[in-house]
Amino acid sequence: MGDMSIRPEDAPVVGRDVTESEVLAHATTAGGPTDLRITDSTLRDGSHAMSHQFTEEQVRGVVSALDRAGVQVIEVSHGDGLGGSSFNYGFSLVDEFDLIAAAVDEATRAKIAVLMLPGLATVKHLKRAHAAGASVARIATHCTEADVSIQHFSEARDLGMETVGFLMLAHRASPQVLAQNARIMVDAGAECVYVVDSAGALVLSDAQERIQAVIDEVSRDGAQVGFHGHQNLSMGIANSVLAYQAGARQIDGALCALGAGAGNSPTEVLAATFERMGIRTGVDLGEVLSAAEEVVRPFIPRLPWMDRASITQGYAGVYSSFLLHAERAAERYGVPAHAILQRVGELGYVGGQEDMIIDVALQLSEEQQLGDLAAAGVR
């Protein structure tokens, strides 16, 4: 297991409390040299929590506020990545390429990133996103299937985009297997590989060991390592700090935690925590707090929260975006959402298999009816 001790350079700035007025009066510190880069995914992972109903006005507001706060990368796509608008994942209210173009138009300093999952999106989607002005390609596969992304990394590099690999549901692979898959992505052209805790299932050392293994494998090539956390077991921030200490230099967050399941590591909490530790993110705390409180909070229909269903996702290792789909199936078939998610975890379904939620709900409903009949003495 990795080194869990906090090194001197990572120690928090202690000995004096920072008052709220100091934070608010804080002169803007946006920009400048940084120790790590925060990528905000409010407008991509948050799309799940918004049932993919983002408006252009919301996108412009969030991008403008994040850009002002000094967040360097802002991800904009359907929650399931480019091309995700569908029956299976939910249709987008506004075409994602229009949202990407609006984000590019609004940003003055920040780079606009897009997510794509090979098997769902193709190089054609990536080219359209690039034409709309996106400059960072985040290419995601299940943590053991990196070899499906090889053609996409090479195309993204040819387009001149910055490339980031996303190894999803990272708890499902051992640190060694994760490192092998990171190797495939780096060889294909990834400049950074993320350990993606899609289920919010990694608990502290689980995260750190995986990040360490990936760093050991790819840092000699000059590739960076990143961490994307979820709050299902409330580990997003703590895992992000451990990730930084292990050497990760890119960390994902979302304003107000707006993301799938119980949400992502809140960007504003990441900024505050890293600032207390003396780790420079280039993000202005006052501005990012205001972005969360005044820009995002007012339009969120339901704040992501650790409730029975989302905690079950963390516990059973279920892809976070299954949450709202399970709730809808629960309503349609009269079975509890957490029971659906528990079964989905047992069966080992991976990201993208939202259609299996219907299967599971039907099975549970059938079992429930058989149980009711048995209880009534019917054989």
Partner 1 sequence: MSKTKATAAIVGPGNIGTDLMFKLMRRSTIIEPRFMVGVDPTSDGLARAKRLGLEASAEGVDWLLSQEELPDIVFEATSARAHQANAPRYAEAGILAVDLTPAAVGPYLCPPVNLSFNLDAPNVNMITCGGQATVPMVHAVSSVVPVPYAEIVASVSSRSAGPGTRANIDEFTETTAAAVEVIGGAEQGKAIIILNPVEPPLMMRNSVFCAIPEEAGEPGALQDRILESIHAMVRTVQEYVSGYHLRSDPQFDPARSTWRGQARVFIPIEVKGGGDYLPDYAGNLDIITAAAARVGDLLVAHRLGIATSWKSTSELGEQPADASAPERAGV
Q: What angle do CA 91, 72, 6 make, to 5 degrees?
A: 110
What is the smallest separation between the CB atom of 51 and partner 1, expressed in angstroms? Answer: 7
**Residue 104 C-beta: closest distance to partner 1, Å:** 24
d(CA 317, CA 142): 13
Is position 348 an interface residue for partner 1 (rule: CB under 8 A)? yes
Kindly report the number of other CB atoms within 10 A of residue 55's CB atom. 14
CA-closest candidate to residue 301, choices 99, 63, 93, 98 = 93
Task: Report in angstroms how near the CB of residue 307 gets to partner 1 at its nearest.
Answer: 22
Pairing of strands 37-40, 224-228: unpaired
Q: Indicate whether 95 belongs to the interface with partner 1 (CB under 8 A).
A: no
142 near partner 1, judged by CB under 8 A: yes
Q: Between 238 and 362, whose beta carbon lies closer to partner 1?
A: 362
Q: How far apart are CA 249 and CA 254, in angstroms?
A: 17
Beta carbons of 181 and 156 less than 8 angstroms apart: no
String of contacts with partner 1 for each residue 64-93, x by CB under 8 A: -------------------x--xxx-xx--
Verify binding: residue 120, partner 1, rule CB under 8 A. yes
For the question of residue 48 being annotated catalytic, the response is yes
Q: Of the listed pieces 26-34, 128-136, 190-198, 345-353, which binds partner 1 according to CB under 8 A?
A: 345-353
Report how far residue 56's alpha carbon sits from residue 167's, in angstroms, rounded to the nearest whole number: 29
Return the residues of window 26-65 that contact partner 1 according to CB under 8 A: 51
CB-based contact 237:270 (threshold 8 Å): yes
What is the torsional sign of CA 123, 215, 142, 102?
negative
Cβ count within 10 A of residue 122: 15
356 near partner 1, judged by CB under 8 A: yes
Say which amino acid occupies 311. Answer: I
Question: x-or-dash pattern for partner 1, window 308-337, by CB under 8 A?
Answer: ------------------------x-----
Instruction: Single out the residue of 123, 159, 203, 238 in contact with partner 1 (rule: CB under 8 A).
Output: 123
Residues forming the site for partner 1 (CB under 8 A): 51, 83, 86-88, 90-91, 118-120, 122-124, 142, 144-145, 147-148, 150-152, 172, 332, 347-353, 355-356, 358-359, 362-363
Give the active site residues.
Answer: 48
